[in-house]
């Protein structure tokens, strides 16, 4: 049984969405849940969920890392041996072998810094990368990095490519995943200096390297893994989410304000629109893995609801079951021999 730590103090509306989602995941996926956070706040929510027959326990952590924790103050709270915040306590459970994966909807920066200090990096990885799943015309694409590293070196992108390829294969079930390098042109030689310097590294690596891809190729499903720096990836992620919301909102507005015939047509296509909405909804994936740290860590949106948290636990369970961490370690180790 996979043992998943859930940061009950992570979401914007903690602890209710975090606890309710964790309980739903325990019930549906048969995982053991360890809720970490202020027990006085967690217990009433847990008691209301009729979860006595489930494998769920609380580990008390009286402090919380918030969006206001930055810079040196954040580092001190993340690395302190006696840290009592929910992220530190939860990740220590992973480090000590008491759990298999950690899920949080908290501050992304705090999650990354905490993971680096509590768990450390995988040998051969200079920087961890956030790797969400993007919906595409043919399925899904792992895109990394989307914010952990605004400035990268070619060696970082090579490591991202290796980790993303392993994750796509082991967790997403893609055989021999195609890896693309995000650029402003498909032709080799296009792109900034980072892209140009990264190209020969990816070509020489033991990867199914596709070549340069533009954003339209990623969304079109040309590759299974798209590699970029955190600045570009974050812009792509937020732009994609905004465009998806704009389209669905506009369709809904046109149907609502249209003629009777338009409204009838809207009713007829409602199931199809619902399917598209689910495809574009980030809560369907729940959380993105932080690849490169020596432990399975998943970070979701602060606005996550119970549905998103349930799916975040599911994604974490899939990585545990696939032994994703061991596979990534092995691939990185092979690349530095």
What tokens were used for 16? 């209710």
Q: Is the pLDDT of residue 292 over 90?
A: yes
Taking phi over 0 as left and psi of -120 to 50 as alpha, with beta for the rest, 276 belongs to: alpha
DSSP structure string for 155-184: HHHHHHHHHHHHHHHHTS--SS-EEEEE-S
Tens of pLDDT, residue by residue over 229-286, are 999 998 988 888 888 788 888 888 888 888 877 777 777 777 766 666 666 666 677 8
* pLDDT at res. 83: 87
DSSP string, 282-319: GGGT--EEEETBSSEEEE--TT--HHHHHHHHHHHHHH
Start-to-end Cα distance in the chain? 34
Smallest CA-to-CA distance from 14 within 34, 39, 40, 42 is with: 42
Residue 37, pLDDT above cutoff 80:
yes
Summarised one tens digit per residue, pLDDT across range 57-85 is 999 999 888 777 777 778 777 778 888 99
298 forms bridges with which residues in the sheet?
103, 289
Nearest CA among 336, 330, 332, 315 for reference residue 101: 315
Share of the chain above pLDDT 90, in %: 65
pLDDT computed for residue 26 by the predictor: 96
Average pLDDT, the chain: 90
pLDDT band at residue 143 using 50, 70 and 90 as cut-offs: very high
Beta-carbon contacts of 275 under 8 Å, excluding residues fewer than 6 positions away, are none
What pLDDT is recorded for position 268?
Answer: 72
Distance CA 141, CA 132 (A): 8
> Could you tell me where the DSSP H helices lie in the chain?
16-29, 39-47, 71-79, 86-95, 108-118, 154-170, 193-204, 215-220, 230-257, 260-280, 306-321, 324-335
170-186 pLDDT per residue, tens: 999 999 999 999 999 88
Q: What is the pLDDT of residue 5?
A: 98
Please give the pLDDT value at position 282: 65
pLDDT tens-digit readout, 184-214: 988 888 889 999 999 999 999 999 999 999 9
pLDDT at 104 over 80: yes
Phi, psi of 89 (to 5 degrees): -65, -40
Per-domain residue ranges of the chain: 3-129+285-335, 133-235, 243-279
Q: What is the pLDDT of residue 245?
A: 81
Alpha carbons 110 and 210: distance in angstroms, whole number: 34
Question: Spelled out in words, what is the top-level CATH class assigned to the domain 3-129+285-335?
Answer: alpha beta
> How confident is the model at residue 66, as a pLDDT?
78
């Amino acid at each position: 049984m996979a043992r998943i730590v859930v940061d009950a103090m992570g979401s914007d509306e903690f602890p209710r969405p975090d606890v309710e989602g964790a309980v739903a995941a325990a019930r549906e996926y048969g995982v053991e849940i360890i809720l970490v956070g202020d027990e006085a706040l967690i217990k009433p929510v847990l008691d209301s969920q009729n979860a006595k027959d489930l494998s769920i326990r609380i580990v008390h952590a009286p402090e919380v890392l918030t969006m206001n924790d930055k810079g040196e103050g954040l580092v001190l709270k993340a690395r302190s041996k006696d840290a009592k915040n929910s992220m530190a306590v939860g990740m220590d459970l992973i480090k000590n072998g008491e759990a298999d994966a950690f899920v949080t909807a908290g501050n992304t920066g705090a999650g990354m810094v905490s993971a680096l200090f509590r768990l450390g990096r995988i040998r051969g990885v200079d920087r961890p990368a956030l790797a969400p799943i993007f919906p595409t015309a043919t399925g899904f694409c792992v895109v990394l990095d989307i914010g952990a590293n605004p400035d990268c070196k070619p060696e970082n992108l090579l490591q991202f490519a290796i980790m993303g390829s392993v994750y796509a294969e082991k967790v997403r079930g893609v055989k021999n995943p195609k890896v693309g390098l995000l650029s402003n042109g498909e032709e080799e030689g296009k792109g900034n200096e980072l892209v140009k310097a990264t190209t020969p590294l990816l070509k020489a690596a033991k990867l199914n390297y596709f070549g340069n891809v533009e954003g339209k190729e990623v969304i079109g499903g040309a590759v299974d893994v798209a590699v970029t720096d955190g600045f570009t990836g974050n812009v792509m992620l937020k732009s994609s989410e905004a465009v998806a919301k704009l389209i669905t909102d506009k369709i809904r507005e046109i149907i609502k304000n249209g003629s009777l015939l338009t409204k009838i047509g809207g009713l007829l296509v409602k199931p199809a629109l619902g399917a598209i909405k689910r495809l574009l909804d980030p809560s369907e994936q729940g959380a993105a893995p932080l690849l490169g740290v020596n432990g399975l860590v998943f970070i979701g949106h602060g606005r996550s609801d119970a549905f998103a948290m349930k799916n975040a636990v599911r994604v974490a369970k899939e990585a545990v079951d696939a032994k994703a961490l061991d596979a990534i370690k092995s691939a990185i180790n092979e690349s530095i021999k």
